[in-house]
Structure 1
Amino acid sequence: MRILYLQQYLGGDELLVMPIGLLYIATAASAHEAKLFDMNAAKNPYQELDEILREYDPHVIALSLRNIDSQQRMDLKYYYLELPKTLQLVKTVKPEVFLVVGGAGFSMFAKTIMQRHREIDFGIYLEGETAFPALLENLQTPHKVSNLYYRKGSELKVTERGPLIDLETLPIPRKDIIPDIKIYETGKGGIGVNTKRGCPCRCSYCNYYLLNGLKVRMRPPVQVVDEIEELVNKYGMKEFMFADGMFSSPFRHAKEICEEMKGREIKVQWDAWCDIRDINEEFIDIVSAAGCRSLIISPDAYSNSALEGLNKKITTRQVRRAIKLLMHRSNLRIGFCFFQASPGETFWGYLQTLFYYINSIISITLRGRGGCGFSWIRIEPDTQIRKTAVRDGTITEETELLPEDIESLQKLFYVKPSLRFIDPLSRMIVSSVSLIKGIIGRKRHKR
């Protein structure tokens, strides 16, 4: 069969990111003919999609809905609103095609999306490396496939959950179906490499552990470095990003990958998200020797009360220590963000966070050493924050977390009720800092 792997359009303003999820799915279904189209890489995405549908004439379309929105209250973009346009175009041009939708964004709202958009024939919930190839063999008998939403007449059905994927059995995701991989080399993490899935943390705002499991499943370090070496030697990449939620954990796994990269003398720069608890002199030495360019940490709060409210299991002292260690390494850039008015935060804690944030802007951002942000939590399904927001009256049990307009989406950012009086000040600060960053960025670009 001819399969068209389609990355959903995000509106044209976002950085290009290599569609690694689709690459894994295409690798798992490599017995079939494959074509990849990333709508975000197209000048006229809908027009070009129309042409590809007519010329390639696919039997099945595998559409990845990775992101729902930008999660930035002050620069909010609602990517989901582009989905209906894509679905309507596909079914208008090729009404007989089997349309399969998956991806992290879809999995968060799978039932709602399937109920709203009848153009979708099948929805793959969570991981698809097993489900998608099985579906291709069972298009007429979808009840045999795990992790699948399907339609039986007017009724929406869902099959039982299958086991999590054993990453040691997965081959390196193919890159040969990417028309031009160099377009993703943007200097800002466009080329992604996964080393693991799963997260043992239960941060109160996050549902990642539900989407990928609490158990950390790791790829063999040698295979990870084989993929990196392929990117460098075969495709000419000079940079990439470890796309894990926390590359540094477990420490032993990250260390083995770095040592393997150093042993092969691979000349490439890379970035990674890391756990604050893993930041020490030994770790920084190891990643620096392997080509690390920047480390992004996720404190999400500064005051101890807010850290406890977010279930971060770290302290203010650990946050300061990690940032200080990274700032002292001139060869590394650093990135992090604080949430405002989160559960557990106090007015005094807010003032502490604000002072530290402004100091970080001066010492890190303005000196070109990285970036720090001040943001709000987007309330998402199946999170502790959602329960907290219902309990304190921010939303109700009936509040739709996938609204049909951006105005309703604006109301889904959490602000602790007792701290609402400082919200205008917070928004003014974020707007002012964004303006200053923009001016500085334009001046640096001119140089």
Structure 2
Amino acid sequence: MAILSKPDVPRFSVDVYQNAYLPEGAREVNAVVTVTASGGATLSGPAGSGGGPDAAVVIMVDCSGSMDYPPAKMRGAREATAAAIDTLRDGVRFAVVAGTHVAREVYPGDGRLAAAGPETRAQAQQALRRLTAGGGTAIGAWLRLADRLLSSADATIRHGVLLTDGRNEHETPERLTAALEHCAGRFTCDARGVGTDWEVKEVTQIASALLGTADIVADPEHLAADFTSMMETAMGKGVADVALRLWTPAGARVRFVKQVAPSVEDLTDRRTGAGPRAGDYPTGSWGDESRDYHVCVEVPPADIGREMLAARVSLVVPRADGGADALGAQGLVRAVWTDDLAASTSLDPQVAHYTGQAELAEAIQQGLEARKAGDMDAATAKLGRAVQLAGLSGNADTAKLLSKVVDVVDEAAGTVRLKTKVAEADEMTLETRSTKTVRVTRRPNEQ
């Protein structure tokens, strides 16, 4: 396969961190794979700057009736969308969709995308002033219209931004799931919930399926800053549809592949075949950035002194003809069987750290679910464990969010008391951001 090489595409590198040593009879190999993209063109920047790959963006704005309560939400949504449009590079194609129980093109209309420039930005912002709230919420319809609009442009980067303030009450969960399955791999999408009347699981489901980010913006006054930041990140992307390719030898089986930084995202069930004993796991669009993945492979047991290649990790971008272009980076996951007890029982610090981060996210989600269900004993135990794990891993941001839901008695022991009164925004923020992780602190002699 050819190595993809273009001036505006970042260069990729792969580093593998693991303890390769296994005791006799052991079969499970764990590794943290760090993928780094660097050296791409300076793609982000103020409106009017050129350069960068072809990109298309659709902004989906909730215009359901609840957006008028309070009126600051609708005003904040208009201002945030205008700020996002201001952040687009000249030439980036874009559209704005108003979402209610139906999806409606606000600008430019007629199933088209506009090319960003001084005139089209002004026209779009004029159209935004006419946005009003009324109607219901059917997010699957919004996503399908965004997909049709993005598909009309031959763009390298296809990105959506979705804002909602309410639950998806005017279509069934199955229709939303079907829309997400249709759109997956066709564009990425960042999702935001404004206020506190929306459903966290719906917003995170959208971001997860479409390989974007999810967050809460409790105060509509903060929407413009958040939208500007999101769009700057989107404008910094240089290559789309990157897949993590895993090859394993005969007799080996991939148990799981999880993104573990900057957030936890299980990619295991998203595997697509890529020839004999190989599979691709989607990672979305990349700019200059670094992400970590936890790979677990089950290998056939072997005798002491035996060594084998447990997995080969590479990066590819699929082509329309069914093939793929290699991004010129790979890493090797090894297995070595030994009778040295110290070597085989030593936990790699990278693997240990991210195993704890994944457990932290799970403990928060289970603790909040138990709290909502009225099982206060289970909620106390799970959120106490979360406090303990946040302290052990140095995840100060999550620890701060937890402190708004529980009173910490003993962080090291995980002893907490549930707060009797918790602001809804604080609980939703903790749930929405529960999967965000901190990078492991690597020793100076590590790569």
Q: What TM-score does the superposition give when structure 1 sets the normalisation length?
A: 0.29
Structure having greater relative contact order (Cα 8 Å, sep ≥ 6): 2
* Larger helix share, 1 or 2: 1
* Larger strand share, 1 or 2: 2
Q: What TM-score does the superposition give when structure 2 sets the normalisation length?
A: 0.29
